Amino acid sequence: MKSEINDLEKSQKEIIVEISTEEMEKYMEKALEKMSKNVKADGFRAGKVPKDVAKKQIGELALFEEATHEAIESSYLKIIEENKLSPIGHPKADITKSALGNPLEYKIIISVLPEVKLGDYTKISGKIEIKEIEKGRVEKESEMLQKKRAKYITKDAKAEKGDRVEIDFESRVGGVKIEGGESKNHPLVIGEGKFIPGFEDNLVGMSKDDIKKFSLIFPEDYKKELAGKNVDFKVELKIVQKVELPELNDEFAKSLGKFENVDSLKKSIKDGIMAENENKAKEELKNKLIDQVSEKSTIDIPDVLIDSEIENMLKEFENNVTYSGIKFEDYLVSVNTSVEKLKVEWREMAEKRVKTGLVMREISVKEEIKLDDKEIEERVNETLKHYPNAEEMRKNMDIEKYKNYVAGIMINEKVFEILEVIAEKNGK
């Protein structure tokens, strides 16, 4: 067997292989031995049919096809092993010369795990910068708790700002109904700004069973198909309710279950906001540090990795949309896009995610980060115990695949710990 390996762009390699006539004869013998086991002939037991009889029944062409398949697979795997290549995806052989009694020649183009020319991560810098609690944030969170315990009292009066109403509405552009632009018994609180500017203002002064028509120009930053257009609305008011919020006092705090008074409630809210801000700051620092390393690193990323990451992103996105109760196809229509458009729009983001992953992997190799089976098993158990049906999940899932997933997370955590220590040291 002769082979030649040529480097191509995007971390691809061209493998050109020639298998001699003599070698092909050996593969023909192997093919005959393999295929004759299934040949049936009168007067012979299964698997005991003489080779000349089996060869005649199988046919030389079928034998040659099997031999060719075996020759390509066997030689390809040998080349991969001998040259320590890490192929990605499933390559297809392009046969360039093939005939009985002649050498076999074929060519394969494969993508391989790319070489990472790692930037000097010992020079990175950065520190956690936790934001102060925004002014009025605690009051806003307190009000949200009050709204969850609000009472709605139906009233026979005109709707005012702050009232909860239920409406039937439909919207049209140029007399044509907007797809998804209508609803029945739709609840909203006037003044919360959940609809486009001006919509809720038009509800003020309406009474139960009133019907009102009005037009609004949609904002320029709204979804493309409606941005800047004049939209006609028809609204029927079905119910008007006064919103009564419970007073923010010690009694209210105690009703939430674990607070002695309003002060302890507000302290809990503050602590929660600070914990949220701290987590955000840590995540921002991680992104900042790995971005510094990635910017200094060079990787010729194969398209197959980027395409695979785009597919993962699409799956994640589709799952999130579906989880919210919307059909993915309906969502795509509502925002005037398609899967193909998303793939184009997300390509740059996917490439960045792939590069980040490869950089993280290279750092873990350089730092010789290793995990033992015990700590992986402990993390898996810790994660699964939060699910009520943990044992059932374990039985039905591909546990080895899940362990690999968890191990990847744990290795990344250790990489970030190293980067944070370096950044802190450089910041002193």
Across the range 252-268, mean pLDDT stands at 93
Q: Is the pLDDT of residue 392 over 90?
A: no
* pLDDT tens digits for range 338-372: 999 999 999 999 999 999 999 999 999 999 999 99
Q: Is the pLDDT of residue 331 over 90?
A: no
* Whether residue 197 is found in the same domain as residue 265: no
* Whether residue 376 is found in the same domain as residue 292: yes
Q: How many CB atoms lie within 10 A of CB 81?
A: 9
Structure confidence at residue 168 (pLDDT): 97
Structure confidence at residue 223 (pLDDT): 67
Q: Total domain count for the chain?
A: 3
* Banded model confidence at residue 411, pLDDT cuts 50, 70, 90: very high
Structure confidence at residue 427 (pLDDT): 77
Domain residue limits at 407: 260-427
* Whether residue 180 is found in the same domain as residue 97: no
Report the distance separating Cα 123 and Cα 6, nearest Å.
36
* Whether residue 299 is found in the same domain as residue 418: yes
4: burial class by Cβ within 10 Å (0-12, 13-18, 19+)?
Answer: exposed
* Whether residue 295 is found in the same domain as residue 398: yes
* Banded model confidence at residue 55, pLDDT cuts 50, 70, 90: confident
CATH number at residue 26: 3.30.70.1050
* Whether residue 303 is found in the same domain as residue 205: no
In this structure, of 123-137, 155-169, 210-224, 322-336, the range with the lowest mean pLDDT score is 322-336
Structure confidence at residue 58 (pLDDT): 85
State which of 89, 113, 137 marks the end of a domain: 113
Query: Per the domain annotation, does 122 fall within a domain?
Result: no
* Whether residue 334 is found in the same domain as residue 415: yes
Exposure string of 182-220, with b = 16+ CB inside 10 Å and e = fewer, is eeeeeebbbeeeebbeebbebbeebebeeeeeeebebee
Structure confidence at residue 114 (pLDDT): 93
- Do residues 289 and 114 lie in contact, with contact meaning Cβ atoms separated by under 8 Å? no
Closest Cα to residue 251, out of 265, 237, 238, 239?
A: 265
CATH number at residue 177: 3.10.50.40
Q: Is the pLDDT of residue 272 over 90?
A: yes
Closest Cα to residue 94, out of 79, 106, 83?
A: 106
DSSP for 4-63, written as a single string: EEEEETTTEEEEEEEE-HHHHHHHHHHHHHHHHTT---TTS-TT---HHHHHHHH-HHHH
Query: Per the domain annotation, does 218 fall within a domain?
Result: yes
Query: Per the domain annotation, does 143 fall within a domain?
Result: no
CATH number at residue 294: 1.10.3120.10
* Whether residue 273 is found in the same domain as residue 412: yes
The DSSP code for 376 is: H
Report the distance separating Cα 312 and Cα 292, nearest Å.
25
Exposure string of 94-122, with b = 16+ CB inside 10 Å and e = fewer, is eeeeeeeeebbebebebbbebebebbebe
Query: Per the domain annotation, does 203 fall within a domain?
Result: yes
Structure confidence at residue 226 (pLDDT): 78
Query: Per the domain annotation, does 272 fall within a domain?
Result: yes
In this structure, of 72-76, 226-230, 391-395, the range with the lowest mean pLDDT score is 391-395
The runs of H, that is alpha helices, within 216-302 are 250-255, 262-296
* Whether residue 283 is found in the same domain as residue 232: no
Across the range 291-305, mean pLDDT stands at 94
Query: Per the domain annotation, does 99 fall within a domain?
Result: yes
Structure confidence at residue 68 (pLDDT): 95
> What is the percentage of the chain residues whose pLDDT exceeds 90?
72
* Whether residue 216 is found in the same domain as residue 343: no
Structure confidence at residue 46 (pLDDT): 66
**Contacts of residue 303, Cβ cutoff 8 Å, sequence gap at least 6:** 10, 111
Return left, alpha or beta for 325; rule: phi > 0 is left, psi -120 to 50 is alpha, else beta. Answer: left
* Whether residue 232 is found in the same domain as residue 264: no
* pLDDT tens digits for range 85-142: 989 988 889 999 999 999 999 999 999 999 999 999 999 999 899 999 999 999 999 9
Query: Per the domain annotation, does 252 fall within a domain?
Result: no
Query: Per the domain annotation, does 422 fall within a domain?
Result: yes
* pLDDT tens digits for range 212-257: 999 999 888 776 677 888 999 999 999 999 999 999 999 999 999 8
Write out the two tokens for 379. Answer: 């993390």
* 17: β partners: 3, 106
* Whether residue 74 is found in the same domain as residue 156: no
Structure confidence at residue 363 (pLDDT): 96
Q: Is the pLDDT of residue 44 over 90?
A: no
